[in-house]
Amino acid sequence: MQKQIIARAKVDDTFLPDTIHPVLKQIYAARGVTNPEELSTKVSSLLTFANFNGMDAAVELLIEALTEDKRIIIVGDFDADGATSTAVMMLGLQMLGYKRVEFLVPNRFGFGYGLSPEMAELTVAQGAELIITVDNGISSVSGVALAKKAGVKVLVTDHHLQGEELPDADAIVNPNQHGCGFGSKNLAGVGVAFYLLLALRSALRERNYFTLEQFGSEKVPNIAELLDLVALGTVADVVPLDSNNRILIHQGLQRVRSGFCRPGIKALIEVAGRHQQKMVASDFGFALGPRLNAAGRLDDMSLGISCLLTEDENLAKTIAHQLDQLNKDRREIEQGMQLEAERVLSGLGLDGEVPDGICLFQPDWHEGVIGIVAGRIKDKYHRPTVVFAQAENGDLKGSSRSIPGMHIRDVLEQIDTQYPKLIKKFGGHAMAAGLSIDAKRFDTFKLAFEYTINKRITDEQRACSILTDGPLAAELYTLDFVQMLRQGGPWGQAFPEPVFDGVFRLAQQRLVGEKHLKVVLQHESGVALDGIFFNVDLSIWPNGSFQTVRAAFTLDINEFRNQVNVQLLIKELLPQ
């Protein structure tokens, strides 16, 4: 598969103030910023909760539960967004005076996703008087119906796209519910939970709830104390970082860097080997998120939620080390599955031609890591990918990952429409989705998936292009410039970290850690720059025949043996 590095075309950035560095102005404009106000990271610039459909009904449900001291059970999800959503809702309600609040999170291997009928039965059996779903529920039609039949009220908070039928919940808060007027459709589940708490606190304040008589204090709880969890869940769920999400992440990062964060987050930072005072958004996504997700993938996400909830620093450290070990186990399983997947692909006799849609299944693959493997295969071959594993109920459970421009949930919806009952259930986003099918119908689904992708994909989408912000002048390879870029974020999904490119002399190259390439690249000005290229193709690198290369890279600060230097994190190296 041929790769190419393409610099973005210059765009108009004159609407941005000259106080912003010219390179950063161009970066912002290229990412779709159209107004300087979109760059604000102040809490006061957050969108208001007033525009949520269903928010008033949700708040009334919660106030009723508070005044009647109802038993509340929060039903979460088994990923990092679900874990942080659960923790935020638990902690927030307790801050606001709720006494009888518990959580349940479905086991990935026994109950499946969300408020399933089995999960609803369990919550009813445990005496729930109000069920609150977080990061799930919008598709839980049967589960909500079961709970309602048992006389239990249900409040759904979710951010996933709704299907044809909505659950008959007492209230639904979801920015992607049809007709919702909230300005950001990109909130993660944890962001929705946070907004619900803000609305609830506002209503309680209007009703003079925070008095000495009612609350034991006249101090209004500060829901912003939960922003460290909101930031972690938002980044880990890889939702698009629009201006509203960037504020949530920025404010959460500020709390973390200042030391005002949960003991569990501190412990996860420690086991991940990161510096708390220097945390950036990508650390949430690549260091903390995977360790939290490992609990849901291989064990029980209750472990991860307990890490986030505990006030005991020693217990937080103990759980964080357990999560770290689970993450190591996850990596081993994933690496083995990825090798198998690549062997399957190589055995198809494709002669270098990759199918437009990749669909893979092996009976012994682990259900907990199929999403990660799908992502790895998608990254390597630049094709929408579905990876299946055997589920406990005899079905096949699939996880899909997609490429820019190919909305994978829409693809599954099209297949479901054209081939009724081929897919038992599905849901997700533009870039990731999950589904289940009858095990006997894998071959049929594979053909339908490949055919549907083939009809939708364009040559432009097939091309594996790395889009960059162009070359940098020699004088910009400085610590000050790198620090300015860091502060210019937070960067992430749909607001990508700046990527630059340039032609360099390949002065040095050597393998480190078995599959990482350490290089020294010499700029035409004579400036020598250290770089590292992770997980290189060992059939190509190292290569002594390459004298000049074009590199695409991000800028990083490397601290080693008390020395601090600029380092290039290389995305691609192509011979010139």
The dihedrals phi and psi of 322, each to the nearest 5 degrees, come to -65, -45
For residue 572 the two structure tokens come to 């691609």
**CB neighbour burial string for 185-205, b if at least 16 within 10 angstroms, e if fewer:** ebbbbbbbbbbbbbbbbbbbe
Mean of pLDDT over the chain? 93
Q: What is the pLDDT of residues 142-180, one digit of tens each?
A: 999 999 999 999 999 999 988 889 999 999 999 999 999
Total tally of structural domains belonging to the chain: 3
CATH code, domain with 440: 3.10.310.30
CATH code, domain with 257: 3.90.1640.30
Measured CA to CA, the distance from residue 223 to residue 194 in angstroms comes to 8
CATH code, domain with 508: 2.40.50.460
**If you write DSSP's letter for every residue of 514-569 in order, what string do you get?**
TTEEEEEEE-TTS-EEEEEE-S--TTT-S-TT--EEEEEEEEEEEEETTEEEEEEE
Residues 478 and 458 reside in one and the same domain: no
Distances in Å between the Cα of 181 and the Cα atoms of 20, 51, 53, 60, 195 are 32, 5, 7, 19, 14
Q: What is the pLDDT of residues 314-326, one digit of tens each?
A: 999 999 999 999 9
SS3 for 159-181 is CCCCCCCCCCCCEEECCCCCCCC
Domain final residue, candidates 445, 462, 479: 462
Q: Where residue 345 falls among pLDDT bands split at 50, 70, 90?
A: confident
Measured CA to CA, the distance from residue 426 to residue 573 in angstroms comes to 38
Distances in Å between the Cα of 211 and the Cα atoms of 61, 205, 223 are 21, 9, 17
Residues 165 and 257 reside in one and the same domain: yes
With respect to residue 335, please indicate whether it lies within any of the assigned structural domains.
no
Q: How far is CA 508 from the centre of its chain?
A: 36
Q: Where residue 136 falls among pLDDT bands split at 50, 70, 90?
A: very high
Residue 391 has pLDDT above 90, yes or no: no
DSSP state of 367: G
Average pLDDT over residues 449-470: 92
For residue 42 the two structure tokens come to 């102040």
Residue that is written with structure tokens 């893979």 in the block: 360
Domain final residue, candidates 428, 462, 496: 462
Cβ-based neighbours of 466, under 8 Å, separated by 6 or more? 3, 4, 5, 6, 499, 501, 552, 571, 572
With respect to residue 436, please indicate whether it lies within any of the assigned structural domains.
yes
Residues 371 and 406 reside in one and the same domain: yes
Residues 28 and 54 reside in one and the same domain: no
Instruction: Provide the pLDDT for residue 569.
Output: 97
Instruction: Provide the pLDDT for residue 202.
Output: 97
Whole domain around residue 442: which residue ranges?
348-462
Among 57-71, 213-227, 336-350, 396-410, the minimum mean pLDDT is found in: 336-350
Residue 116 near residue 136, CB atoms below 8 Å: no
Residue that is written with structure tokens 């801050």 in the block: 95
The dihedrals phi and psi of 203, each to the nearest 5 degrees, come to -65, -40
With respect to residue 342, please indicate whether it lies within any of the assigned structural domains.
no
Please, which residues bridge with residue 153 across strands? 130
Instruction: Provide the pLDDT for residue 157.
Output: 98
For residue 204 the two structure tokens come to 């309680």
First to last CA, the chain: 17
Residues 447 and 472 reside in one and the same domain: no
Q: What angle do CA 303, 306, 307 make, to 5 degrees?
A: 90
Alpha-carbon torsion (460, 461, 465, 466), positive or negative: positive
Question: Which helix (H) or strand (E) segment is 227 a member of?
Answer: helix 227-236
Among 146-150, 391-395, 413-417, 518-522, the minimum mean pLDDT is found in: 391-395
Instruction: Provide the pLDDT for residue 46.
Output: 97
Residue 214 has pLDDT above 70, yes or no: no
For residue 107 the two structure tokens come to 């086991």
Measured CA to CA, the distance from residue 573 to residue 562 in angstroms comes to 29
Residue 258 near residue 226, CB atoms below 8 Å: no
With respect to residue 328, please indicate whether it lies within any of the assigned structural domains.
no
Instruction: Provide the pLDDT for residue 213.
Output: 67
Sheet holding 358-361, edge to edge: 358-361, 385-390, 396-401, 432-437, 423-428
Please, which residues bridge with residue 7 across strands? 468
Average pLDDT over residues 231-258: 96
Residues 372 and 308 reside in one and the same domain: no
With respect to residue 403, please indicate whether it lies within any of the assigned structural domains.
yes
Distances in Å between the Cα of 206 and the Cα atoms of 35, 161, 213, 220, 569 are 34, 33, 16, 12, 51
Q: Considering the chain, what percentage of its residues have pLDDT values greater than 70? A: 97
Nearest to 467 by CA among 547, 396, 554: 554
Distances in Å between the Cα of 407 and the Cα atoms of 175, 368, 575 are 19, 23, 33
Residues 138 and 166 reside in one and the same domain: yes
With respect to residue 341, please indicate whether it lies within any of the assigned structural domains.
no
Residue that is written with structure tokens 């630059």 in the block: 500
With respect to residue 17, please indicate whether it lies within any of the assigned structural domains.
yes
Residue 10 has pLDDT above 80, yes or no: yes
Burial class (CB in 10 A: 0-12, 13-18, 19+), 230: buried
Question: Which helix (H) or strand (E) segment is 573 a member of?
Answer: strand 563-575
For residue 90 the two structure tokens come to 């638990």
Q: Considering the chain, what percentage of its residues have pLDDT values greater than 90? A: 78
Pairing of strands 385-390, 528-533: unpaired
Instruction: Provide the pLDDT for residue 344.
Output: 79
Q: What is the pLDDT of residues 74-124, one digit of tens each?
A: 999 989 999 999 999 999 999 999 999 999 998 766 677 789 999 999 999
- State the angle between helix axes of 263-271 and 289-298 in degrees (0 to 180), rounded to the nearest 10: 100
Residue 153 near residue 132, CB atoms below 8 Å: no
Residues in the chain: 576
Alpha-carbon torsion (366, 398, 298, 131), positive or negative: negative
Residue 366 near residue 378, CB atoms below 8 Å: no
Instruction: Provide the pLDDT for residue 443.
Output: 95
Residue 531 has pLDDT above 60, yes or no: yes
With respect to residue 384, please indicate whether it lies within any of the assigned structural domains.
yes
Cβ-based neighbours of 125, under 8 Å, separated by 6 or more? none
Q: Where residue 306 falls among pLDDT bands split at 50, 70, 90?
A: very high
Residues 177 and 256 reside in one and the same domain: yes
Instruction: Provide the pLDDT for residue 216.
Output: 65
Among 350-359, 460-469, 484-493, the minimum mean pLDDT is found in: 350-359
Most confident of 4-13, 217-226, 246-255, 453-462: 246-255
Residues 258 and 366 reside in one and the same domain: no
Residues 126 and 201 reside in one and the same domain: yes
Q: How far is CA 465 from the centre of its chain?
A: 23
Residues 228 and 376 reside in one and the same domain: no
Measured CA to CA, the distance from residue 201 to residue 219 in angstroms comes to 12
Q: Where residue 299 falls among pLDDT bands split at 50, 70, 90?
A: confident
Average pLDDT over residues 214-235: 88
The whole model's pTM is what?
A: 0.90
Domain final residue, candidates 406, 428, 462: 462
Phi-psi region of 535 (alpha: psi -120 to 50; beta: other; left: phi over 0): left
Residue 350 has pLDDT above 60, yes or no: no
Residues 119 and 77 reside in one and the same domain: yes
